[in-house]
Structure 1
Amino acid sequence: MNKTKFLSIFLPLCLLPLLLAKLALHFGWFEGGTVSKGEWMPEEVFALPALAAHEKVWRLAVVPAKDCEQRCEQGLHTVQQLFIGLGRKQVQVQPVLLAASKDTAVLQQFPVFQHQHPTQADTAAIGNYIVIVDVQGLVLLRYPLPDADHLPADIARDIRTDLLKLMNYDRIRV
């Protein structure tokens, strides 16, 4: 096989995958962002204060819109069951009730939760959601509170999947 014949076969075979990739990007023939189950926050929301250097835990926060009613209590129950199901990884997670007012009756009913006030006054973007908060206090992912459309077991499974991925890829502990 001579040199020109080799190049005339080799170059199109090398350029074909690049051309197909360009077409796939241009026409949107793939689904991007399907790795995580939750909804990534569109803007930065620092809902909790940053932790000290020795405190390296992820926080699962239940954020009611106003008062903790039925959906909020269902969300607290879901996160509590998820927290119990984490087993030995519980030391890396802290459940938080993120509300402006402290409801002691709810906190007595769900003893694993710690009450904290939001650091930003405007928490409308995360109201009525369960959120995953990193060590710096940044909200990363949000999940709707359980209701008729969103079953608690499905939400807990989605949160667990994303939380375990985040904990595995966390480089702060290294």
Structure 2
Amino acid sequence: MSKNKFLALFLVFCFLPLILAKLALHFDWFEGGTVSQGEWLQEEVFALPALEAHEKVWRLAVVPAGTCDELCEQGLYLVQQMFIGLGRKQAQVQPLLASAEPITELKQRFPVFTWQQATNHSEIDNYIVIIDVQGLVLLRYPLSSDELSQADIARHIRSDLLKLMNYDRIRV
């Protein structure tokens, strides 16, 4: 093989992947963001205060819009069942009920966190959210009354939560 032929083939094989990648991005052949099942928030929402340095716990919160109605109760049941299914990883997760309004009735299953009325959390109302140790809401999942979609939502939450816990490097 001649020197010029080798150089030409070398340049083609070096630049061909770059050109194909540029075309894939330009013509939307690439579908990004399909790793997580939940919906990432576009803006930073700090829903809860940061935890102490020795606590390494992800928080899984049900956020009702107003008082805890039937949809909220179904979300609490879903989170409780999913929490039980975590097994030994339960020590790394804290399920809770987060509300802007004080909850009058006692929810025996979950700690209740009430934030100040001044903060606006309307983009996470009627959602189940995953909150990191800094108090930042990362992913949200809609509350649903349909049993089939609840099973899908629980599977998605579990998948995303386990990925987040495995790749957590905040306090390592």
- Shorter-chain TM range is over 0.9
CA distance in 2 between counterparts of 1:91 and 1:60 reads 12
Q: Does 1:90 align with 2:90?
A: yes
Instruction: Map 1:19-168; keep pairs closer than 5 Å.
Output: 19-99=19-99, 100-105=101-106, 107-108=107-108, 111=109, 113-118=110-115, 121-148=119-146, 151-168=149-166
Q: CA deviation at 1:150?
A: 6.5
CA distance in 2 between counterparts of 1:84 and 1:173 reads 25
CA distance in 2 between counterparts of 1:38 and 1:72 reads 18
Q: CA deviation at 1:104?
A: 2.8
Q: Which runs of 4+ in 1 moved over 3 A?
A: none
Q: CA deviation at 1:5?
A: 1.6
CA distance in 2 between counterparts of 1:160 and 1:128 reads 19
- Structure 1 unaligned residues grouped into runs of 5+: none
Partner SS for 1:137 = coil
Moved more, 80-89 or 3-12: 3-12
CA distance in 2 between counterparts of 1:54 and 1:13 reads 51
**Contact 1:144 1:150 (C-alpha < 8 Å) held by counterparts:** no
CA distance in 1 between counterparts of 2:47 and 2:8 reads 59
TM-score where L is the length of structure 1: 0.93
Deviation per CA, 1:69-90: give whole Å up to 9, x if none: 1110000000000000000000
Q: CA deviation at 1:134?
A: 0.3
CA distance in 2 between counterparts of 1:16 and 1:97 reads 53
* Number of equivalent positions: 170
What is the alpha-carbon root mean square deviation over aligned residues? 1.5
TM-score where L is the length of structure 2: 0.94
CA pair 149-30 structure 1, distance change in 2 beyond 3 A: farther
Partner SS for 2:45 = coil
Deviation per CA, 1:130-161: give whole Å up to 9, x if none: 00000000000000002239721111100000
Deviation per CA, 1:41-87: give whole Å up to 9, x if none: 11000000111111110000000001111110000000000000000
Percent sequence identity over aligned pairs: 67
- Structure 2 unaligned residues grouped into runs of 5+: none
